[in-house]
């Protein structure tokens, strides 16, 4: 798999660290209900299909939100987490 780093261009997957669901962008308020925090810390596995997830490109230190399809392994797009608005 190759991932388009928003900073460096398309690079081999091995340069990236996978973090998980892009739900991480929506951190609940400190006093949010437990159930919300549970969902945030342990998001359910998504079924095969389109997903948004987070990848870290270590060489440039960029966190990217990657839009890809786990059913056919297509990488659709990626943007930097700093600019992402999900």
Point out which residues bind another protein (CB under 8 A).
Answer: 1-2, 12-14, 17, 19, 24-25, 27-28, 30, 32, 34, 37, 40-42, 45, 47-48, 54, 56, 58, 61-63, 70-75, 80-83
- What does DSSP assign to residue 42? S
Asked whether the beta carbons of 52 and 25 are under 8 A apart, the reply is no
* H or E stretch at 38: helix 34-41
For β-strands 16-21 and 9-12, DSSP reports them as unpaired
Provide Rg for the chain, Cα atoms: 14
CB of 82 to another protein, least distance (A): 5
Which of Zn ion, another protein, none does 63 bind, CB closer than 5 to 8 A by kind?
Answer: another protein
Residues within window 49-68 making contact with Zn ion, judged by CB under 5 A = 57, 60, 62
| Site for Zn ion contains 17 (CB under 5 A) | no
């Amino acid at each position: 798999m190759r991932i388009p780093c928003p900073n460096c261009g398309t690079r081999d997957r091995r340069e990236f660290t996978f973090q998980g669901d892009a739900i991480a962008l929506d951190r609940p308020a400190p006093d949010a209900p437990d159930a919300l925090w549970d969902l945030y810390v342990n998001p359910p596995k998504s079924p095969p299909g389109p997903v948004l997830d987070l990848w870290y490109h270590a060489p440039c230190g960029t966190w990217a939100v990657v839009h890809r399809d786990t059913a056919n392994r297509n990488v659709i797009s990626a943007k930097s987490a700093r600019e992402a608005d999900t």
